[in-house]
Amino acid sequence: MTVIDRVHKARPTQRWVGLGAAAVTWWALYSVNLPFWDWLIGDVVGLDLETRLGSGVHFFFYDTVKILLLLTGIIFLVTVLRSFMSVERTRAILGGKREGVGNVVAASLGVITPFCSCSAVPAFIGFVAAGVPVGVTMSFLIASPLVNEVAIALLLGLFGWGPTLLYVVAGLTIAIVAGFILGRMRPERWIEPFVFETKLGGQTVDPGMSLTWNDRIQIGIEEVKDILKKIWPYLLVGIGIGAAIHGWAPEQWFADHAGPDVWFAVPLAVLMGVPLYSNAAGILPMVEALFDKGLPMGTLLAFMMATVALSLPEMILLRRVLKPQLIGLFIGVVTVGIIAVGYLFNAVIPT
């Protein structure tokens, strides 16, 4: 008997005890993920976690488990919740005139969620599957890695209130405006169809129909299995590339070719940031070092924003749920926004 069969036949007490046990197990696995790989890679295998090899190997295993856990938890929870409401009803509530407000709320939610670009993808899939407008969800996807509390705290300590507030306002503006623009382009046509489907027993069902709790849990389990089955190759390739280039940045070359007298320094910084992979906190030490060498703040923030919001591993993960047209528009709109912010910062905060 499969897990789904057992869930479908479970009594109410068994069902809730089972869900509680699953939730505790999920939380335990998520909590020990980092210390476990620290111990295994650092102490047992003996790799130095400060080296590129050690940090890359650690990153691959740690991030693979972390994103799989996030995918499992978020997709299951969102699927069960959306089983109470049809996609059409959700869009009616969140779409239309409310979409601008939705972009602001989604971007603000992204700021307080501690996700890197790849970790934000599971939440993005869940929101889109729940019927949240794609443009609104894009605002979350952009803001979550781009502006976070760790980066804010570090920027505040390194550069003071002025650059920090400009960074927050610029990041939120990019997320809100980019999401709104993308939402005006009917992006739903560029989402892979399986994201919008709710299945029970392998058959597509209308979430608005009458369902039991056992049905809803079964739908959640099936959705997790179906999405993981479709995206796991992209997940491993994306994280593998991220591990290979994790934390790597050509600091001296950047200092030599993106100085204050180079007019194309901002676009160059964005192009250099895209293939790299790091969160804002991880790239800030390099930003501080280059700032001390005289590089303009706008150029450095453009580099940091491109690194965390347009990473190559993120694009590979998104390809399984987004068609190339939407990925291209996403990259284009965000890139233009980041370049504009870079030039603005260079004008406001001269070296």
Give how far Cα 95 sits from Cα of 92, 174, 304, Å: 5, 20, 32
Higher pLDDT: 239 or 98? It is 239
Give how far Cα 56 sits from Cα of 62, 142, 245, Å: 10, 24, 8
- Among 132, 165, 197, identify where a domain stops: 197
Residue 269: the pLDDT is 84
Same domain, 113 and 33: no
Same domain, 138 and 58: no
CA–CA dist 146, 171 (Å, integer):
6
Is residue 65 over pLDDT 80? yes
Total domain count for the chain?
Answer: 2
Give strand ranges (E) for the chain: 199-200, 203-204
Same domain, 55 and 95: no
Smallest CA-to-CA distance from 299 within 273, 325, 319 is with 273
Same domain, 129 and 80: no
**DSSP states of 98-130 as a string?**
GHHHHHHHHHHHHHTS---TTTHHHHHHHHHHT
Is residue 253 over pLDDT 70? no
Is residue 342 over pLDDT 90? no
Residue 39: the pLDDT is 93
Query: pLDDT tier at 197 (50, 70, 90 boundaries)?
Result: low
SS3 285: helix
CA–CA dist 285, 291 (Å, integer):
10
Residue ranges making up the domain that contains 54: 1-84
- The model carries a pTM of 0.61
Give 219-237 pLDDT, tens digit per residue: 778 777 876 776 677 667 7
Note whether residue 282 is domain-resident: no
- Among 197, 220, 241, identify where a domain stops: 197
**Segment among 177-186, 201-210, 234-243, 303-312 with least mean pLDDT:** 201-210
Query: Angle CA(311)–CA(274)–CA(174) in degrees, nearest 5?
Result: 80
Residue 96: the pLDDT is 47
CA–CA dist 337, 175 (Å, integer):
9
- Among 163, 197, 231, identify where a domain stops: 197
Same domain, 80 and 91: no
Is residue 9 over pLDDT 60? no
Is residue 102 over pLDDT 70? yes
